[in-house]
C-alpha cells in the first residue's frame, strides 16, 4: 500500500476524546491525600500540571518525590481514577466529528498515555474503534513523555500515513512536543488538563472546541 495522500489525525484520549478531567483531578487529589498534600481545584491543576508527572508533584511539594512516594501516589491515582472514570463519557460531538472525518476519506488513530491493556477495551465500549487505523496506549512505566510513543505510533502507520499531513489533537503541551518530535503538526484543545495560557506558550494553534480542532487540523494538513 502506498503512502496515504490525505490528512490524518492522531487523537489523544484522556482529556480530549474522553472527557475525564474531573475524574483526573479527583484521583490526583486522592493521591495527594495519601501524602498529606492539600487538594487542587481544576483551575490550579491546569495551571500546574506537566509531564513528566514527577515534575508536577515537585511543583507542589517543593522537591521531587522519592521513589517510594512516587510509587504510592501513582498507584493511588490509578486506583481512584478507575473508580471515578465510570461517570465519564466522550466529549461533546465526538462521534459526529469522527464520522465526518472518515466520510471525507481521511484517516485517524488514537495514541494515549493511558495503559494500552486498559485503553483498547475502554475505546471499544463506546463503539468507535472502527474509526481508527490504530489504537495505541502506553506500554511501560507511567508518568513519562509521549514523544517516543508518537514516533513508534507513526512508524507503525508509515505505509498509510504521511507525518507531514498528520495533525495531533490533544489537551496538553506534551502532545504538541510529541508531534514535533515525530515530524507532525499539532492543535491543542482547552477542555482537558491545561489552561489556554499554558497551551499558547507552546506555539501551536489552540482552540476551545473539538470541532474547531478538526477544522484547524484540516487546514494544517492541507498546508503540509
- Please tell me the pTM assigned to this model: 0.92
| Tens of pLDDT, residues 189-203 | 999 999 999 999 999
**Signed CA dihedral, 111, 113, 116, 119: sign only:** negative
Is the pLDDT at 214 greater than 70? The verdict is yes
- Tell me which of 13 and 52 has the higher pLDDT: 13
Residue 31 — pLDDT band, cuts 50, 70, 90?
confident
pLDDT of residue 224: 67
pLDDT of residue 146: 94
Is the pLDDT at 2 greater than 70? The verdict is no
Q: What is the mean pLDDT of the chain?
A: 93
| Tens of pLDDT, residues 6-19 | 899 999 999 999 99
pLDDT of residue 3: 42
- Tell me which of 96 and 31 has the higher pLDDT: 96
Grid coordinates given for 195 = 489552561
For residue 84, give the 3-state DSSP assignment: helix
Most confidently modeled of 21-30, 33-42, 44-53? 21-30
- Tell me which of 53 and 172 has the higher pLDDT: 172
Amino acid at each position: 500500500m502506498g503512502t496515504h495522500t490525505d490528512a490524518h489525525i492522531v487523537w489523544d484520549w484522556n482529556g480530549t476524546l474522553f472527557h475525564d478531567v474531573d475524574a483526573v483531578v479527583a484521583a490526583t487529589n486522592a493521591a495527594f491525600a495519601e501524602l498529606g498534600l492539600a487538594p487542587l481545584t481544576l483551575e490550579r491543576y491546569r495551571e500546574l500540571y506537566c509531564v513528566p508527572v514527577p515534575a508536577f508533584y515537585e511543583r507542589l511539594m517543593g522537591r521531587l518525590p522519592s521513589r517510594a512516594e512516587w510509587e504510592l501516589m501513582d498507584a493511588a491515582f490509578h486506583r481512584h481514577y478507575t473508580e471515578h472514570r465510570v461517570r465519564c463519557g466522550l466529549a461533546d460531538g465526538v462521534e459526529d466529528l469522527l464520522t465526518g472525518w472518515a466520510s471525507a476519506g481521511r484517516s485517524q488513530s488514537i495514541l494515549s498515555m493511558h495503559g494500552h491493556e486498559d485503553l483498547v477495551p475502554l475505546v471499544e465500549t463506546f463503539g468507535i474503534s472502527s474509526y481508527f487505523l490504530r489504537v495505541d496506549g502506553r506500554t511501560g512505566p507511567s508518568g513519562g513523555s509521549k514523544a517516543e510513543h508518537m514516533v513508534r505510533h507513526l512508524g507503525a502507520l508509515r505505509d498509510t500515513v504521511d507525518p507531514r499531513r498528520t495533525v495531533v489533537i490533544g489537551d496538553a503541551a506534551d502532545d504538541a512536543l510529541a508531534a514535533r518530535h515525530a515530524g507532525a503538526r499539532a492543535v491543542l484543545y482547552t477542555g482537558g488538563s491545561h489552561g489556554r495560557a499554558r497551551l499558547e506558550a507552546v506555539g501551536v494553534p489552540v482552540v476551545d472546541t473539538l470541532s474547531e480542532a478538526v477544522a484547524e487540523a484540516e487546514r494544517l494538513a492541507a498546508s503540509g
